[in-house]
Amino acid sequence: MSGTAINVLYFAQVAELTGTRLESWPLAEPVSGAQWLEQLEARYPQLAPAQRLKLAVNQFHVKHSVVINPGDEVAVFEPVTGG
């Protein structure tokens, strides 16, 4: 994948707090998950502390040490509660 942005998906409580479920997020250079969560919190202070949130990149669970690249699909959510 490539591009100059990432697609960000918000779920459940996170989507309620951001008021959106999907947005394109400009990203020209790779960034770590932890760094990106800082940017997310700057944009949506109501998510603080954002470091508590879980990430999936391209539909796989990832740690915050992951590298997010332009073109990625990034999902943000609280711990899952299915079953």
Partner 1 sequence: MVIVQTEDFNAAELTAALRKRHAGQAGALVTFTGYVRDYTEGQGTHTLFLEHYPGMCEREITDICQQAIERWQVPEPTVVHRVGELHNGEQIVYVGVASAHRGDAFRACEFIIDALKTRAPFWKRETLASGERFWVQQRESDAEKTAQWAHDTPNNAKESS
Using CB under 8 A as the binding rule, the residues of this chain from 2 to 31 that contact partner 1 are: 9, 11-13
| C-alpha to C-alpha distances, 6 to 19, 80, 81, 82, nearest whole angstrom | 18, 23, 26, 27
Q: Which of 30, 40, 39 is nearest to 70 (CA)?
A: 30
| Segment (H or E) for 17 | helix 12-18
Q: Which is nearer to partner 1, 42 or 80 (CB)?
A: 80
Q: Which is nearer to partner 1, 13 or 35 (CB)?
A: 13
Q: In this chain, which of 2, 29, 49, 81 binds partner 1, going by CB under 8 A?
A: 81
Residues that bind partner 1 (CB under 8 A): 9, 11-13, 56, 59-61, 75, 77-83
